[in-house]
Amino acid sequence: PVRAFGAVGGTPPFVVRGEGAVLHDADGRQYVDLVQSWGALLFGHARPEIVEAAREAAGRGTSFGAPTEAEVELAERLVAMVPSVERVRLVSSGTEAAMGAIRLARGVTGRPTVVKFDGCYHGHSDALLARSGSGMATFGIPGTPGVTAGAAADTIVLPWGDAATVEELFHSGGHPIACVILEPVPANIGVLPPPEGFLAALREITEDAGTLLVFDEVITGFRLTRGGAQERFGVRPDLTVLGKVMGGGFPCAAFGGRADVMDQLAPDGPIYQAGTLSGNPVAVAAGLAALELVDRLDPYEALDRTAASLTAALADALSGAGIPHAMNRVGSLFSVFFAEPPVPDADAARAADHRAYARFFHAMLERGVYLPPSGFEAWFLSTAHGQDEVERVIEAGREAAKEVAATEGS
Q: Which residues are catalytic?
A: 121, 216, 244
Distance from C-alpha of 251 to C-alpha of 57, rounded to nearest angstrom: 14
Q: How many residues bind ligand PLP (CB under 6 A)?
A: 16
In the complex, what is the shortest distance from the CB of residue 378 to ligand PLP, in angstroms, rounded to a whole number?
8
Q: Which stretch binds ligand PLP (CB under 6 A): 91-99, 111-119, 138-146, 191-199?
A: 91-99
Selected range binding ligand PLP among 121-129, 229-237, 299-307, 319-327, rule: CB under 6 A: 121-129
What does DSSP say about strands 333-337 and 326-330: parallel, antiparallel, or unpaired? antiparallel
The yes or no reply on residue 222 touching ligand PLP (CB under 6 A) is no
Nearer of residues 291 and 315 to ligand PLP, judged by Cβ: 291
For ligand PLP, the closer CB: 113 or 220:
220
Least CB distance to ligand PLP at residue 255 (A): 11
CB burial class (10 A; 0-12, 13-18, 19+) of residue 168?
exposed
Nearer to ligand PLP, 37 or 68 (CB): 37
Q: Which residues 223-282 are close enough to bind ligand PLP by CB under 6 A?
A: 243, 253
Q: In this chain, which stretch among 70-78, 88-96, 363-371, 397-405 interacts with ligand PLP, using CB under 6 A?
A: 88-96
> What's the sign of the alpha-carbon dihedral 284, 381, 241, 291?
positive
Measured from the CB atom, the residue of 98 and 235 that comes closer to ligand PLP is 98
* Contact between 57 and ligand PLP per CB under 6 A: no
List the interface residues with ligand PLP, window 169-198 (CB under 6 A).
183, 188
User: CA dist 212 to 65, 103, 172, 359, Å?
Assistant: 31, 12, 18, 42
Whichever of 45 and 122 has its CB closer to ligand PLP, that residue is: 122
Q: Is 375 in the site for ligand PLP (CB under 6 A)?
A: no
Interface with ligand PLP, residue 221, by CB under 6 A: no
- Distance of closest approach, residue 234 Cβ to ligand PLP, in angstroms: 20
Facing residues of 129 across strands?
A: none
Q: What is the 3-state secondary structure (H, E, C) of the chain?
A: CCCCCCCCCCCCCCEEEEEECEEEECCCCEEEECCHHHHCCCCCECCHHHHHHHHHHHHCCCCCCCCCHHHHHHHHHHHHHCCCCCEEEEECCHHHHHHHHHHHHHHHHCCCEEEEECCCCCCCCHHHCCCCCCHHHHCCCCCCCCCCHHHHCCEEEECCCCHHHHHHHHHHCCCCEEEEEECCCCCCCCCCCCCCCHHHHHHHHHHHHCCEEEEECCCCECCCECCHHHHHHCCCCCEEEECHHHHCCCCCEEEEECHHHHCCECCCCCECCCCCCCCCHHHHHHHHHHHHHHHHHCCHHHHHHHHHHHHHHHHHHHHHCCCCCEEEEECCEEEEECCCCCCCCHHHHHHCCHHHHHHHHHHHHHCCEECCCCCCCCECCCCCCCHHHHHHHHHHHHHHHHHHHHHHHC
What sign for the dihedral angle of Cα 401, 404, 408, 410?
A: positive
Of the candidate residues 18, 20, 44, 94, the single one contacting ligand PLP (CB under 6 A): 94
| CB nearer to ligand PLP: pick between 36 and 93 | 93
Is 115 a residue that touches ligand PLP (CB under 6 A)? no
Q: Which stretch binds ligand PLP (CB under 6 A): 1-9, 47-55, 117-125, 327-335?
A: 117-125
Report the residue from 123, 227, 287, 373 that binds ligand PLP according to the rule CB under 6 A: 123
In the complex with ligand PLP, the residue whose CB is nearer, 253 or 310, is 253
Q: For ligand PLP, which residue of 102, 218, 321, 330 counts as binding (CB under 6 A)?
A: 218
Residue range at the interface with ligand PLP (CB under 6 A); choices 161-169, 216-224, 229-237, 278-286: 216-224
Tell me which of 71, 154, 216, 345 binds ligand PLP, using CB under 6 A.
216
Which of 2, 98, 182, 330 is close enough to bind ligand PLP by CB under 6 A?
A: 98
Give least dist CB 21 to ligand PLP, A. Answer: 20
Q: Measured between alpha carbons, how far is 355 from 70 in angstroms, rounded to an integer?
A: 47
- Select from 116-124, 189-197, 200-208, 358-366 the region that touches ligand PLP (CB under 6 A): 116-124
* Residues found near ligand PLP in the complex (CB under 6 A): 38, 93-95, 98, 121-123, 134, 183, 188, 216, 218-219, 243, 253
